[in-house]
Amino acid sequence: MNSPAKDLADRLVAVENEAHTIADVDRLATCRVCEKLRRPLITLVGSAGYSSLLQRALTLAKRESTALEAVKVMSDGSMTGLEGAAVEASSLLVGHLIQLLMTFIGESLTLTFLQGIWPELEDGEEPLEKEGYGQQGQN
């Protein structure tokens, strides 16, 4: 997966890696990204809707990396099996989740949604809109 959504997923995972505290040492950045997305998305689409969205993203990511075969999405939207080799491929999961959001609610709304959760995304050298994200949605 080479796309703006994958690049954005890599940035979100990097932000979460940098932001971890001692209490978060054993938690993966991907799990933190998905957890931060889970709360507001459950408000919008419900627990079953979020689980379905995450399961679809996982199915798509598994097509690109067999390392994710042991990963499972639970009914509450949490995940199990995201360890070992799966960690290396986990940004694929986040990338597909973001791509699905962009497909369903549009790029501009997805970016606004993500910036509401991670305001530090705007602290980079250039805003997301100037990096190629959201350009299709701005007509």
Tell me what pLDDT residue 78 has. Answer: 87
Using DSSP, how many helices (H) and how many strands (E) does the chain show?
4, 2
Q: What is the pLDDT at residue 121?
A: 78
pLDDT > 90: percent of the chain: 38
- Evaluate whether residue 109 is within a structural domain: yes
Confidence at residue 125, expressed as pLDDT on a 0 to 100 scale: 41
Position 26 scores a pLDDT of 39
Lowest mean pLDDT among 16-20, 31-35, 46-50, 132-136: 132-136
- Residue 32 inside a domain? The answer is yes
Which has the minimum average pLDDT: 21-25, 43-47, 114-118?
21-25
Look up the pTM and report it.
Answer: 0.75
For residue 133, is it within any domain?
A: no
Total domains present in the chain: 1
Mean pLDDT across the chain: 80
Question: Is residue 135 included in any domain, yes or no?
Answer: no
Containing domain of residue 31, as a range? Answer: 4-122
Distance CA 113, CA 3 (A): 19
Rounded alpha-carbon distances, angstroms, from residue 49 to 45, 56, 77, 106, 108: 5, 11, 9, 17, 21
pLDDT at 134: 43
